[in-house]
């Protein structure tokens, strides 16, 4: 049986899915690692705890337009004057702030017909400089993007096809909105599906600081330090099928093993400690093919555990037994956004369980998070845990508006770390307009 040997990093997975079917952020993480089974040490919340000191800023979509919430004030940033129809997509979607809060990026759909099997997800990347309200239009046609910790936009534009040479080029781009400069990593392979696995030329998959790479060359995978100009052999393609992901700081690299698991549905993932490349942890995880919101990739518990696409467990890089998080049935598979999130400084991790939310610190202590009103803890809600700083985190009750998942006017919640409480923040706010 022919295996797919194309190494695919997380930012390229969605693009390649479209191609073949008709188609982490740099973190300074302290050691030692916490344990996910930390003892709950306190629950009480003081009645008069002050609000977070940092400004609370949240971009969101409402009635098709993009707004910016800032400390109680809502400002219309981009108004959508076009009407979406079953024949054409006119939407402004996924507004996300850069980590430094200076830029907002979103996708402006173009009015083209919905894509078969993927709705109205494609469009052009647009950028707003918040302080001046300057709008930067781009020619990048994308399905999704993410911000890195160093305030770069990472995305994969639609493929480029040279039919004469029978080559397809997939680009993994890191774009700096401040300098307007891009860093491009390309993967080129033969268009003929019967031969492209053998004619792959090369591919470099960097960490977010762009100083470490996983390189695929001549059917081998290497770890590359671009600063020291050092290359270390890791695997050949009889050992692994794909490169999958980096941990936030680049400490761990994850591959899909070429071995078969006892259950064909399960995939064996190999976790390589880049500080000790000979140390490999094997983790067996499940995969699925259900629909759902577009994912920005696996989410991490500090630097020691992660949530996998279509799964609801926390897997650990040292091979400890996985920790069960929320365990609801049904719904789509792009659920990682609402299970775990680590704060920008790497000091705290927020987790969702079936009956509670918990906050863990890097020393292994844990507290149950209080709720001003009961918040659903299902597979699909809340979604998109977004830490703005160590003081507060934003939670979207639903990604979509328009009666998605039975929530007609979903809310945005604020997790106030200092007060240890989740409370409603914005009414009728989401990331994508349904319908």
Q: Tell whether 47 is covered by a domain.
A: no
Q: Tell whether 48 is covered by a domain.
A: no
Number of domains the chain contains: 1
The reported pLDDT for the residue numbered 164 is 59
Q: Tell whether 4 is covered by a domain.
A: no
pLDDT in tens for each of the 435 residues of the chain?
A: 333 333 333 333 333 333 333 333 333 433 444 445 444 444 444 444 555 567 899 999 999 999 999 999 999 999 988 877 777 888 899 999 999 999 999 999 877 777 665 667 678 999 999 999 999 999 999 988 999 999 999 998 866 555 555 667 788 899 999 999 999 987 766 555 555 454 455 788 999 888 899 998 888 999 999 899 999 999 998 999 889 999 999 999 999 999 988 777 788 999 999 999 989 999 998 766 556 666 677 899 999 999 987 788 899 999 999 999 988 765 566 667 889 999 999 999 999 999 999 999 999 999 999 999 999 998 888 989 999 999 999 999 998 886 555 677 899 999 999 999 999 999 999 998 876
Q: Are the C-beta atoms of 270 and 257 separated by less than 8 Å? A: yes
Sheet holding 392-396, edge to edge: 370-371, 421-426, 412-416, 392-396, 383-387
Cα distances from 22 to residues 15, 16, 144, 153, 284, in angstroms, run 11, 10, 18, 26, 29
Beta-carbon contacts of 218 under 8 Å, excluding residues fewer than 6 positions away, are none
Bridge partners (DSSP) of residue 253 are 246, 272
Q: What is the CA radius of gyration of the chain?
A: 21
The reported pLDDT for the residue numbered 92 is 92
CATH number for the domain harbouring residue 315: 2.130.10
Domain extent for 343: 10-42+53-433
What b-and-e string marks burial along 262-296, b requiring 16 or more CB atoms within 10 Å of the CB?
A: eeeeebbbbbbbbeeeeebbebebeeeeeebbbbb
The reported pLDDT for the residue numbered 186 is 78
The reported pLDDT for the residue numbered 187 is 76
DSSP secondary structure string for all residues of 285-346: EE------SPP---EEETTTEEEPTT--EEEETT-PPPEE-----SS-S--GGGTEEE-TTS
Q: Residue 139: how many CB atoms within 10 A of its CB?
A: 7
The reported pLDDT for the residue numbered 32 is 40
The reported pLDDT for the residue numbered 13 is 36
Structure tokens belonging to residue 14: 């969605």
Q: Tell whether 346 is covered by a domain.
A: yes
Determine the Cα–Cα distance for residues 430 and 426; give it in Å rounded to an integer: 9
């Amino acid at each position: 049986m022919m295996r797919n040997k194309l190494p695919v990093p997380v930012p390229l997975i969605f693009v390649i899915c479209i191609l073949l079917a008709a188609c982490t952020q740099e973190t300074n993480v302290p050691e030692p690692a916490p344990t996910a089974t930390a003892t709950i040490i306190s629950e009480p919340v003081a009645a008069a705890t002050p609000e977070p000191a940092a400004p609370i800023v949240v971009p969101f979509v409402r009635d098709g337009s993009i707004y910016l919430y800032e400390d109680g004030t809502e400002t219309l940033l981009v108004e959508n004057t076009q009407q979406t129809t079953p024949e054409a997509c006119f939407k402004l979607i996924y507004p996300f702030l850069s980590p430094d809060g200076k830029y907002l990026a979103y996708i402006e759909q173009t009015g083209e017909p919905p894509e078969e099997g993927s709705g109205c997800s494609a469009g052009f990347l647009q950028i707003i400089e918040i302080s001046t309200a300057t709008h930067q239009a781009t020619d990048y046609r994308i399905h999704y993007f993410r911000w890195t910790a160093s305030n770069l936009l990472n995305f994969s534009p639609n493929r480029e096809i040279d039919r004469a040479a029978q080559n397809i080029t997939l680009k993994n781009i890191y774009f700096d909105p401040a300098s307007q400069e891009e860093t491009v990593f390309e993967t080129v392979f033969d268009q003929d599906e019967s031969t492209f696995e053998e004619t792959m030329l090369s591919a470099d998959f960097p960490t977010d600081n762009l100083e470490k790479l996983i390189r695929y060359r001549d059917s081998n995978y290497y770890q590359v330090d671009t600063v020291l100009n050092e290359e270390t052999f890791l695997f050949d393609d009889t050992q692994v099928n794909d490169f999958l992901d980096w941990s936030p700081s680049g400490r761990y690299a994850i591959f899909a093993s070429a071995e078969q698991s006892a259950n064909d549905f399960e995939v064996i993932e190999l976790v390589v400690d880049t500080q000790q490349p000979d140390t490999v942890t094997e983790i067996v995880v499940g995969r699925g093919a259900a629909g759902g919101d577009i994912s920005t990739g696996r989410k991490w518990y500090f630097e020691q555990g992660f949530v996998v696409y279509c799964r609801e467990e926390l897997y650990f890089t040292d091979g400890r037994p996985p920790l069960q998080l929320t365990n609801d049935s049904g719904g789509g598979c792009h659920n990682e956004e609402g299970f775990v999130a680590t704060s920008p400084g790497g000091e705290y991790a927020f987790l969702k369980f079936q009956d509670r939310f918990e906050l863990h610190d890097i020393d292994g202590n844990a507290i149950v998070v209080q709720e001003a009103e009961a918040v659903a803890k299902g597979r699909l809600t809340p979604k998109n845990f977004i830490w703005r700083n160590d003081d507060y985190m934003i939670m979207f009750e639903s990604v979509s508006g328009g009666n998605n998942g039975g929530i007609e006017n979903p809310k945005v919640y604020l997790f106030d770390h200092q007060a240890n409480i989740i409370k409603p923040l914005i009414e009728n706010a989401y990331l994508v307009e349904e319908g």
